[in-house]
Structure 1
Amino acid sequence: MITRIITGLIGIALAAYVIQTGGTLFAGFALVLGLIAWFEYARAFGERGMGLTLLTGFLGVAALWYTGWQGNVELMVAAATLIVAIVLLESVLLRGSVSIMDAVTSVTGILYIGFPFAYMVMLRDWPETRLIPTQLGDFEFGCALIWIMFIGTWASDTFAYFTGSAIGRHKLCPSISPNKTVEGFLGSLVGTTAAVAGLGIFFALPVQEMAILGLAIAVLATLGDLVESVAKRYTGIKDSGSIIPGHGGIWDRFDSVLFTAPLVYYFVKFVGLAMK
């Protein structure tokens, strides 16, 4: 537990520095985390005897990250299309070592991991460059979005855990994640909605829209966690890695963010939050 707490505090401090700095530093960290998460994903399915396209996966995740760094969604779609074609062709050209199921699982992993880290970079480098004055100083709009995404996701996990531990009685998905409860999920919905609405007040953003975003984050964060739980049960692993002492791997720590990062990006884009 001590190791977990110390590692968590160091991680929070490092994350705060990287998020506040932004730019190349943030983008570089996103790339490294995405590549590690892909490696953990490929290694996990390797436990089932599957031979995922490891090198192509690295290139695919990096390509999607690059399109996010350029802020070019059209280029991102083109890159994704090319990645799918190349990986599926590997099942034809390298059919002795790459089966069609290996290829399909590889494509899923590359897009599942590559897209969200690209969206994170686009969130941090949001074109709207206005500064938001707060009691803690001025925040760039993109910086505020990243904090909203991460704090909302952490709030979802935290409220679900403590509510479930205190009053949890009814299992949410016992065959997938035995520790999750309906009460914990409801606590997550209420707590995350309140937390993100509070961030709306802090960042002078519309509270009603932020509350809706908080509710959506709670739902998507829970689903993201369950998706990784399904994958880990299928592959027979407990943790995706041990790179973070006491916390497991990068995939373990970012399983919910893989769903909430695209959510926040498109919510801000289509609700027009940058203009309010």
Structure 2
Amino acid sequence: MLTRIITGVIGIVLAAAVIQMGGALFAGFALLLSLLAWFEYTRAFARKGERLTFLLGIVGLVLLWGCAWLGNADETVAVSTGIVLVVLLMAVLLHGRVSFPAACLSVGGILYFGYPFGHMVMLRFLYPEQMLATPVGPMAFGCAMIWVMFLCTWASDTFAYFTGSAIGRHKLCRTISPNKTIEGFLGSVVGTTAVGAGLGVFFSLPLLEMAVLGFCISILATLGDLVESVAKRYTGIKDSGNIIPGHGGVWDRFDSVLFTAPLVYYFVLLSGLGLK
């Protein structure tokens, strides 16, 4: 437990510095995390005998990250199409070494990690001219929304854990994640909605929209966690890695963020939150 706490504190301090500094540092960390998660993903499925296209995956993730950095939707579509076709073609060109299921798993993994971390980059640099008034001073809109995304995602996990531990009785998804309870999920929804509203006050953003965003994050964060749980049950692993002492791997730590980062990005665009 002590190791988990110490690592968590160090991780929060590092994350805060990277988020606040933004720029190439933030984008570079997003790329690094996507590559580490891809490594864990390919290693997990190797346990089932699936030989994924590891090197092509790295190329694909770098290209998707570059598209997010440039903010060009047409390039993203073109690169995504190329990744899908080239990786599937490996089942033909490397027949006997790369199976068709492995090629499909490769495509899924590249997009699974590439798109969300790319959206994280785009979210950080969204509306760069927009500054928000906060009790600690002005903050760039994109920086604030990254904090909203992370804090609400962490809140979802925290409220679910403590509520479930205290009063959890009914299993949410017994065959996928036996420790999750309906009571924990409801605690997550209520708590994260409140956190979203509180962050609305802190960042001087519309209270109703921020409460709705918190509500949506609680649901997507839970689903994102369950997606990784399904994958881990299928591959027979407990943790995706041990790169973060006491916390497992990058995939373990960012499984919910993979769903909440795109959610926050599109919620902002559709609600016009950055223009209010």
SS at match of 2:245: coil
The answer to whether the 8 Å contact 2:90/2:98 transfers is yes
In structure 1, the residue matched to 2:275 is 275
Give the structure 1 partner of residue 164 of structure 2: 164
Q: Which residue of 1 aligns with 2:36?
A: 36
CA distance in 1, matches of 2:161, 2:256: 14
Q: Answer with 213-222 or 128-137: which moved more.
A: 128-137
Task: Output the amino acid matched with 1:109.
Answer: G
1:6 — aligned with what? 6
What is the CA–CA distance in structure 2 between the aligned matches of 1:273 and 1:77, rounded to whole Å? 26
Instruction: Provide the rounded CA distance (Å) in 1 between the counterparts of 2:73 and 2:8.
Output: 33
In structure 2, what is the Cα distance between the partners aligned to 1:77 and 1:267?
Answer: 21
How far did residue 31 of structure 1 move? 0.5
Q: Following the alignment from structure 1 to structure 2, what is the Cα–Cα distance between the partners of residues 21 and 140?
A: 11
Deviation at 1:108, TM superposition (A): 0.4
Q: Which runs of 5+ in 1 are unaligned?
A: none
Runs of 4+ in 1 over 6 A off after TM superposition: none
**Cα pair 1:144 1:203 within 8 Å, conserved:** yes
CA contact (8 A) 1:159 1:192 kept: yes
Cα displacement string for residues 38-62 of structure 1 (whole angstroms, at most 9, x for unaligned residues): 0100100001010000000111111
What RMSD in Å do the two structures reach over aligned CA positions? 0.7
Query: How far off its partner does 1:129 sit?
Result: 1.8
Partner AA of 2:161 in structure 1: Y
Distance (Å, rounded) in 1 between the aligned partners of 2:42 and 2:140: 36
Contact 2:51–2:102 under 8 Å retained in 1? yes
> Once the 2 structures are TM-superposed, how far is the Cα of residue 32 of structure 1 from its aligned partner?
0.4
1:75 and 1:259 map into 2 onto residues whose CA distance is 22
Q: Equivalents in 1 of 2:42, 2:31: separation in Å?
A: 17
Residue 77 of structure 1 pairs with residue 66 of structure 2: no
Kindly provide the amino acid, as one letter, of the partner of residue 127 in structure 2.
P
After superposition, the C-alpha distances for 1:194-240 in whole angstroms (9 at most, x for unaligned) are 00111011111111111111111000000000000000000000100
Distance 1:3 1:237 in 2: 21
1:110 aligns with 2:110: yes
User: Distance in 2 between the 1:251 and 1:21 partners?
Assistant: 24
Write the distance in 1 (CA, Å) between the matches of 2:20 and 2:128. 16
Amino acid at match of 1:259: F
In the TM superposition, what are the counterparts of 1:75-154 in structure 2 within 5 Å?
Answer: 75-154=75-154
Residue 255 of structure 1 is matched in structure 2 by: 255
Residue 72 of structure 1 deviates from its aligned partner by 1.4
Residue 60 (1) aligns with residue 56 (2)? no
Counterpart CA distance in 1 for 2:255 and 2:123 is 18
TM-score (norm 1): 0.99
Task: Report how many residues are paired.
Answer: 276
Q: Which moved more, 1:15-24 or 1:120-129?
A: 120-129
Q: Is the 8 A contact 2:196 2:210 kept in 1?
A: yes
Matched, 1:197 2:190: no
Q: Secondary structure at the match of 2:165?
A: helix
C-alpha distance in 1 between matches for 2:191 and 2:73: 33
Match of 1:186? 186
Q: Deviations over 1:65-103 (max 9, x none)?
A: 111111112211211111001100111111110011000
Contact 2:224 2:257 in 1 (8 A): yes
**How far apart in 1 are the matches of 2:137 and 2:161?**
32
SS of equivalent to 2:138:
strand
Instruction: Give the 3-state SS of the residue equivalent to 1:110 in structure 2.
Output: helix
Structure 2, unaligned stretches of length 5 or more? none
Tell me how far apart the structure 2 counterparts of residues 250 and 172 of structure 1 sit (CA, whole Å).
25
CA contact (8 A) 1:129 1:142 kept: no
SS in 2 for 1:137: coil
Q: Secondary structure at the match of 1:134?
A: coil
Contact 1:128 1:274 in 2 (8 A): no
